[in-house]
Amino acid sequence: MKNSVGQIMQLGGNLILLRVEALQGMFEKVNKVLGAGGGLVWYIAGRGAGRSMAKVFQTRFREGENPAAVFDKIAWLYASWGWGRMEIVGSGKNSDRFFIRIYDNAFVTEQHSQTPSCHFVRGFIEGLLETLTGIHATSEETKCMAKGNHHCEFQITLK
């Protein structure tokens, strides 16, 4: 939704559109300057973005709402932003370990790497989950499109 001054509004805040190529160029430049430390910078930025977005989500969801319904809403928003299609795999009702898969992940489209490269997304997921659940979340990227996998996959552990 656009308002009269040319802003894009969603979830009560302003959004910007950014070409995937521009985002990837930013990743490339930061990683070139910082080397291996670039991944840490993007991870920390992702955690902060995830925490921030979780606070927005908390104002939009009903207390006691089914966690699966909340995830479906988050996955819909994630896709509507052009970030990719997200799904949970292997999650039981009280599971403290599960996988999140992301197809068409905009953060690694056209990227090639020998190692998992979704540092921002990994941080975003952890920050989002920790803030929404109040439980410490860690993740490991077990598959990555940049490595040639069909999708990116994150093993999530809640402690």
Confidence (pLDDT) at 33: 93
Residue 117 forms part of a structural domain: yes
How many separate domains does the chain show? 1
Confidence (pLDDT) at 93: 55
Residue 15 forms part of a structural domain: no
Provide the residue-wise pLDDT of the chain in tens; the chain has 159 residues: 555 577 877 777 787 788 888 888 888 899 899 988 999 999 999 999 999 999 988 887 776 677 777 788 889 988 988 999 999 887 655 578 889 999 999 999 888 889 899 999 999 999 999 998 888 999 999 999 999 999 999 999 988
The helix (H) or strand (E) run that includes residue 13 is strand 13-15
Confidence (pLDDT) at 84: 94
Confidence (pLDDT) at 13: 78
Residue 9 forms part of a structural domain: no
Look at the block and give the residue holding tokens 């006691």: 64
Residue 137 forms part of a structural domain: yes
**Residue 106: CB partners within 8 Å, gap ≥ 6?**
20, 23, 82, 83, 84
What is the extent of the structural domain holding 106? 21-158
Residue 10 forms part of a structural domain: no
Measured CA to CA, the distance from residue 85 to residue 57 in angstroms comes to 18
Task: Find the CATH number of the domain harbouring 45.
Answer: 3.30.1380.20
Confidence (pLDDT) at 94: 59
Residue 2 forms part of a structural domain: no
Residue 16 forms part of a structural domain: no
Residue 126 forms part of a structural domain: yes
